[in-house]
Structures are given as structure tokens and as C-alpha cells.
């Protein structure tokens, strides 16, 4: 399989006021981002509030996105956690025919050593034929996958095809890019540093802001991959303040507030998250009025 290039979108899970999933809102998001030339979709990641979804809800989300997508874009499925055996069972009990890869987060809460992280992913890979993208997000998991561990996993297992690197440390990304096998992908997991990651040899981004700005992010990433640096940064500087705003009260609270203002879906989230404040909504609205969106 080819590496995943370009712009991936970390899909939210829209909710209705009664807490049920808003499938019409999900359909609007998928159709909107697909129309605006994103390259692939990521289901049931952190941004989807997956930790609060029931098994049946996850199944229904997968079916909904598959039906809307009709195999047009590659799909990535989030299956991760801090119980290695449980992850292996989940992977074994799901039909992955329509998915290009699994995005699997480094174990959270347990805070394993680097060897523990290595053995965790080794166990997963040894129990499935699925392709795995490692997800490193220390601010959520409490532990960082160091570059040497990433390179070790990349060299030892062909089915570990890449990493979503969301440590926020650009030097960490560069150290992985410097030593990784050519076939192994380095994907930015942070909207703020997407451009320097790509310009340093990275393959693209799994983006949150792309749900609100699919055309702009797709174009920015495409320009960066063509080494059109000034043009890419001109787009980035137009939306940098909006990126700040959507993370001001946490993710996906901010992106859902933006999507509400754009009349794509409501801003409801599930506890322990709470919806965006009136003040955030007004700030995003005011900033949005200065943009020309598709």
C-alpha cells in the first residue's frame, strides 16, 4: 500500500440536543470535505469523542460514513486504548475490508516505558494483518513515543506504515523523518505545525480545522508538497487565528462551535466535555466574518 499523503480529516461525531448521534450532520461534513479535495477520512479518533461512544453507535457511524463515502476516499479507523488484549480482540471482531489502515493511539493512563510501548504495538501487529498507523499524542496519553522507539517499530514491522505525530515538538518529527524507512509515513497530528512538518519531509496532516476549512487546508498542504512555500504560508497566516480559537476551549469543543456557526451541525458534546461558551462563539463568529469561505 502507498503511504497516506496530503490532508486527512479527523471527523467529529455530531450530536443532537438529546445526546443522540446527528447522522444528517455527519453526512454534511463528509460530503463537504470530500467536495473540497481532502485526501482521506479518519473515523473514531480522539476528535470523534470515541471514548464516550457505545459499541452500537460506533458501528452505526462506520456504516453511515461508508455509505456516504462510497469508497471515494480512503478511510482510516481509530482503534486504540490502554488494554492491549482488548484492542487485539476489537480488531479481530471488526470487518476492516473498507479501511486502508487502523490509527492506534499509544496507551494512555498506564504510562508505559518505551519498551512497554514497543511490546504493545508488537502484540497488535502480530495478531492482525491490518496496517497500523501509530498515534503519538503525549498531552492526552501521559507518555511520549520517542523517535528511537518509532524507528525501531518502523524497521521491525512492515505493517506499521506510519505515525500521526502530535507531540507538538517539531524536532521530534524531524528526527523520525531523518531515520525512518522510505515507506514509512510521518503525518502531522497538529494543525499548527503542519507546514514545517511537510517542508521537512513529512507526508501531510490529519487535521481538525479541515472540517471548517477543507478547501484552504487541502490547498495549503498541496502547495507545501510542491515546495510552493510562500503560497502555502499565505493561506496558513490567514487562518492561524482561527486555529488558535478552535483549541481555546479544547477539542472537539472548538471545531464543533465553528461547525455550528457554519450551519453544518450543532455544537453539542458529551460529558465530561462541555459545549463552547458564548464568548468563544462570538470570537469565532467575528473572526469568520473576516474570511471568505467555500
Q: pTM, whole model, 2 decimals?
A: 0.95
Sequence-distant (≥ 6) Cβ neighbours of residue 117 within 8 angstroms: 106, 107, 143, 145, 149
**Residue 214, φ and ψ in degrees, nearest 5:** -60, -40
Taken in order of first residue, the domains within the chain and their CATH numbers are 6-228 (3.20.20.70)
Q: What percent of the chain has pLDDT over 70?
A: 98
Could you confirm whether 135 is annotated as catalytic?
A: yes
Determine the pLDDT at residue 273.
Answer: 97
Determine the pLDDT at residue 290.
Answer: 87
User: What mean pLDDT comes out for the span 143-166?
Assistant: 98
User: What mean pLDDT comes out for the span 257-273?
Assistant: 97
Q: Per-residue confidence at 265, pLDDT binned at 50, 70, 90?
A: very high
SS3 track for 107-168: CCCCCCCHHHHHHHHHHHHCCCCCCEEEEECHHHHCCCCCHHHHHHHHHHCCCEEEEEECCC
Could you confirm whether 118 is annotated as catalytic?
A: no
User: What mean pLDDT comes out for the span 251-279?
Assistant: 97
Determine the pLDDT at residue 208.
Answer: 98
Q: Per-residue confidence at 2, pLDDT binned at 50, 70, 90?
A: low
Determine the pLDDT at residue 4.
Answer: 82
Q: 118, 135, 256, 283: which one is catalytic? A: 135
Q: 164, 180, 256, 260: which one is catalytic? A: 164
Measured distance CA(279)–CA(244) in Å, rounded: 14
Determine the pLDDT at residue 70.
Answer: 87
Determine the pLDDT at residue 169.
Answer: 94
Determine the pLDDT at residue 1.
Answer: 47
Amino acid at each position: 500500500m502507498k503511504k497516506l499523503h496530503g490532508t486527512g480529516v479527523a471527523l467529529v461525531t455530531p450530536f443532537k440536543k438529546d445526546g443522540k448521534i446527528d447522522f444528517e450532520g455527519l453526512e454534511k461534513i463528509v460530503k463537504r470535505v470530500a467536495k473540497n479535495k481532502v485526501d482521506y477520512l479518519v473515523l473514531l479518533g480522539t476528535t470523534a469523542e470515541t471514548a464516550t461512544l457505545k459499541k452500537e453507535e460506533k458501528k452505526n457511524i462506520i456504516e453511515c460514513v461508508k455509505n456516504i463515502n462510497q469508497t471515494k476516499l480512503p478511510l482510516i479507523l481509530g482503534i486504540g486504548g490502554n488494554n492491549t488484549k482488548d484492542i487485539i480482540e476489537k480488531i479481530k471482531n471488526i470487518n476492516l475490508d473498507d479501511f486502508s489502515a487502523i490509527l492506534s493511539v499509544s496507551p494512555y493512563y498506564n504510562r508505559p516505558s518505551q519498551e512497554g510501548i514497543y511490546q504493545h504495538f508488537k502484540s497488535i501487529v502480530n495478531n492482525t494483518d491490518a496496517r497500523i498507523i501509530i498515534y503519538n499524542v503525549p498531552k492526552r496519553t501521559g507518555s511520549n513515543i520517542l523517535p528511537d522507539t518509532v524507528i525501531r517499530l518502523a524497521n521491525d514491522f512492515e505493517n506499521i506504515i506510519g505515525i500521526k505525530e502530535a507531540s507538538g515538538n517539531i524536532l521530534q518529527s524531524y528526527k523520525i523523518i531523518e531515520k525512518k524507512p522510505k515507506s514509512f509515513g510521518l503525518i502531522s497530528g497538529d494543525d499548527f505545525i503542519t507546514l514545517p512538518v511537510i517542508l521537512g519531509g513529512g507526508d501531510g496532516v490529519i487535521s481538525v480545522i479541515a472540517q471548517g476549512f477543507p478547501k484552504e487546508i487541502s490547498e495549503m498542504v498541496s502547495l507545501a508538497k510542491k515546495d510552493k512555500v510562500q503560497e502555502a504560508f499565505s493561506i496558513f497566516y490567514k487562518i492561524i487565528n482561527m486555529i488558535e480559537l478552535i483549541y481555546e476551549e479544547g477539542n472537539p469543543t472548538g471545531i464543533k462551535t465553528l461547525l455550528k456557526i457554519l450551519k453544518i451541525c450543532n455544537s453539542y458534546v458529551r460529558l465530561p466535555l462541555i459545549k463552547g461558551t458564548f464568548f468563544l462563539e462570538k470570537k469565532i463568529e467575528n473572526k469568520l466574518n473576516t474570511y471568505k469561505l467555500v
